[in-house]
Amino acid sequence: MSDYSVKSVQTKAYQDQRPGTSGLRKRVPVFKQEHYTENFVQSILSAIPGGPKDTTLVVGGDGRYYSPEVINIIVQIAAGNGVKKLVIGRDGIFSTPAVSHEIRARKATGGILLTASHNPGGPNADFGIKYNMDNGGPAPEAVTEAIFESSKSIKEYKLVELPQVDLSKLGESKLGPIEIEVIDAVKPYTAYLKEIFDFELIKSYVHSDDVSVLFDGMHGVTGPYARSIFVEELGLPESAVQNCVPSPDFNGGHPDPNLTYAHELVDAVEKGKITFGAASDGDGDRNMIYGAGAFVTPSDSVAIIADWADCIPYFKKGGVKGLARSMPTSTALDRVAKAKGVEYFEVPTGWKFFGNLMDAGRLSICGEESFGTGSDHVREKDGLWAVVAWLNILAAAEKKGIKGINGVLQDHYKKYGRTFFSRYDYEEVESDKAQEVMKELESAYGSSSFVGSTLSATSSSASFKVTECGNFTYTDPIDKSVSKNQGLYTTFEDGSRFVVRLSGTGSQGATIRLYVEKYSKDASEYDRDTQEGLKPLIEVALATSKLVEHTGRKEPTVIT
């Protein structure tokens, strides 16, 4: 006889639980509303293809504020729904790519990830919940829509009242009807990276006299992983890692690895003339590569990794099957694909769109302009993977006489030309104002004379002839599902373009993202300042969308 009983709790449905680009992200007080988190967890379990009964789920996240409470809720509701086993990271800490790996390695049913990624954490900041499938990747739209549908009409959820799990204690236990295994979430991931990369080569490189390394965990989840990789495996000193203790509010910071928010890394790298610097975001799926005087844009990063893939054992063995980028990401990767004669794909923003291609064996390396780079070794973008990939490449490049990040960049530009890229974010714009910007562009696109017209910059004589425009629609080549309204693009005769879309990860108001890109094969331009070079294009984008008029925002919140 079991001494537990499943309780059905009557609830009232919320109408705002539609998962965005990467899960449901809201402020903590929203998640703390009565039944709010429970409803969403129940809706996830109800939407698992095949149902929740007898499943094994991996659970963990970036350790942000409110995570322990939510893990407790998940344990009870999972038990109420007949879930067989939960595999939880110690202290609830589990990087997003490591969860993806764990799901795959164990052949688990899926995973529940507790993170709002790079968004700040704390009592009044963001929390997030997302579901990943048995391939280790984010649930596709069909599943996130099923979760949303269920959340809108949910009447009750099931739970078993259970004592709190001690998340600090490793090992397996039975709690009422459910098995719980608390695991060290770092070791298996480090071991996996060691299979993928040439650690011996990297080790000799990072210990050479003129090479120094600094990794910044931004108080997110990657701290313990970075210590394991850089200090324990590669034998670097403690001083090679900073901000590597995870904190529930990221020490009050904004754990987003870009030039604005990772300034502590940038400052330290410049001050110490460090050859290789890198940072990752709250949940460990993003990365920034930055050496003294050398910043690698994410769009270039994925192109370079693809170009140098042969020096990475994982690709040397398995080959590079295909390449892909999200639509707003620069076309630098396309040029590498063409040179290598492999397939390449342009998908909507969000990692969930890469999964099908990988599962079908048609995609090996992919990336997004938003500091996301990865491969089919897991089904999430992977910050530390990208960082170690760069070290592997730098070590191999050194052997060919190409020195440091800047050497690799210049070598790449010489071979392929340079793609200048920048993104302007306008955060917390009123939703209707953001809609006006989108409508403005759509009405411009609606005019029959827009394609073929010439748009002029305001501060110079530069002008651009429109060759194409539209609202990006993607048809998944594998399951043929169609995703519409994925961003407005205007392409010009010289290959330049600008893209405008609304963010799907914000928790308050709307965020407008403006992406601009310009390609040059003129070597005298390669050292040009990105913002300077893109200025005419940005002026044209702002004038066409009337962004400043509609939003009153003269300057973006963040430029990357």
Residue numbers annotated as active site: 117
301 interacts with, out of Co ion, ligand VG1, none, CB within 5 to 8 A per kind: none
Site string for ligand VG1, 370-409 (x = CB under 6 A): x-x-------------------------------------
- Report the residue from 247, 373, 483, 505 that binds ligand VG1 according to the rule CB under 6 A: 505
Run of H or E including 143 = helix 141-153
Backbone angles phi, psi at 465, to 5 degrees: -95, 125
User: What gap in Å lies between CA 304 and CA 308, rounded to an integer?
Assistant: 6
Site string for ligand VG1, 8-47 (x = CB under 6 A): -------------xx-------------------------
- Report the residue from 256, 281, 369, 425 that binds Co ion according to the rule CB under 5 A: 281
Run of H or E including 294 = strand 294-296
Token representation of residue 454? 């010439």
User: What gap in Å lies between CA 290 and CA 265, rounded to an integer?
Assistant: 8
Nearer to ligand VG1, 162 or 327 (CB): 327
CA 18 vs. chain centroid, Å, equals 19
Q: Name the strands in the sheet holding 294-296, side by side, starting at the edge strand that comes first in the sequence.
A: 241-242, 213-216, 276-280, 287-291, 294-296
Is residue 324 a contact partner of residue 357, using CB atoms and an 8 Å limit? yes
Report if residue 545 touches Co ion, rule: CB under 5 A: no
User: What gap in Å lies between CA 266 and CA 293, rounded to an integer?
Assistant: 9
**Cβ partners under 8 Å of residue 499, min gap 6:** 327, 328, 487, 488, 489, 490, 513, 514, 515, 516
Q: Which span sits near ligand VG1 by CB under 6 A: 172-180, 349-357, 433-441, 446-454? A: 349-357
Token representation of residue 77? 């509701």
CA 55 vs. chain centroid, Å, equals 27
Report if residue 76 touches ligand VG1, rule: CB under 6 A: no
Report if residue 95 touches ligand VG1, rule: CB under 6 A: no
Token representation of residue 552? 């009153």
Q: Which span sits near Co ion by CB under 5 A: 27-35, 116-124, 208-216, 224-232? A: 116-124
What is the nearest approach in angstroms of ligand VG1 to the Cβ of residue 229? 19
- Report the residue from 67, 287, 349, 483 that binds ligand VG1 according to the rule CB under 6 A: 349
Instruction: Give 347's strand partners.
Output: 326
Number of Cβ atoms within 10 Å of the Cβ of 508 = 12
Can you state the percent helix, strand and coil of the chain, rounding each to 5?
Answer: 35, 25, 40
504 interacts with, out of ligand VG1, Co ion, none, CB within 5 to 8 A per kind: ligand VG1
Nearer to ligand VG1, 22 or 520 (CB): 22
Report if residue 351 touches ligand VG1, rule: CB under 6 A: yes
* C-alpha closest to that of 560 among 430, 395, 432, 370: 370
Nearer to ligand VG1, 94 or 157 (CB): 94
Q: Which span sits near Co ion by CB under 5 A: 149-157, 191-199, 273-281, 475-483? A: 273-281
351 interacts with, out of ligand VG1, Co ion, none, CB within 5 to 8 A per kind: ligand VG1
Nearer to ligand VG1, 38 or 368 (CB): 368
Burial class (CB in 10 A: 0-12, 13-18, 19+), 142: exposed
Nearer to ligand VG1, 144 or 349 (CB): 349
What is the nearest approach in angstroms of Co ion to the Cβ of residue 299? 17
What is the nearest approach in angstroms of Co ion to the Cβ of residue 286? 5
Nearer to ligand VG1, 389 or 397 (CB): 389
Q: Which span sits near Co ion by CB under 5 A: 277-285, 290-298, 426-434, 437-445? A: 277-285
Token representation of residue 207? 């210990």
| CA distances (Å), origin 19, targets 95, 316, 441, 526, 554 | 20, 37, 26, 40, 31
Report if residue 503 touches ligand VG1, rule: CB under 6 A: yes
Place of tokens 């729904």: 81
User: What gap in Å lies between CA 19 and CA 347, rounded to an integer?
Assistant: 19
What is the nearest approach in angstroms of ligand VG1 to the Cβ of residue 237? 29
Token representation of residue 402? 């190409």
Report if residue 368 touches ligand VG1, rule: CB under 6 A: yes
Q: Which span sits near Co ion by CB under 5 A: 110-118, 165-173, 261-269, 344-352? A: 110-118
505 interacts with, out of ligand VG1, Co ion, none, CB within 5 to 8 A per kind: ligand VG1
What is the nearest approach in angstroms of ligand VG1 to the Cβ of residue 457? 26
Q: Which span sits near ligand VG1 by CB under 6 A: 87-95, 231-239, 281-289, 518-526? A: 281-289
Residue 228 has what DSSP assignment?
I
* C-alpha closest to that of 285 among 454, 136, 80: 136
Nearer to ligand VG1, 108 or 327 (CB): 327
Binding residues for Co ion restricted to 282-341, rule: CB under 5 A: 283, 285-286
Token representation of residue 237? 């000193």
What is the nearest approach in angstroms of ligand VG1 to the Cβ of residue 433? 17
Sign of CA dihedral 383, 384, 387, 389: negative
Nearer to Co ion, 126 or 281 (CB): 281
Q: How many residues does the chain have?
A: 560
Backbone angles phi, psi at 33, to 5 degrees: -60, 155
Report if residue 117 touches ligand VG1, rule: CB under 6 A: yes
What is the nearest approach in angstroms of ligand VG1 to the Cβ of residue 298? 9
Q: Where along the sequence are the contacts to ligand VG1 (CB under 6 A)?
A: 21-22, 117-118, 281, 285-286, 326, 349-351, 368, 370, 372, 503-505, 513
What is the binding site for Co ion (CB under 5 A)?
Answer: 117, 281, 283, 285-286
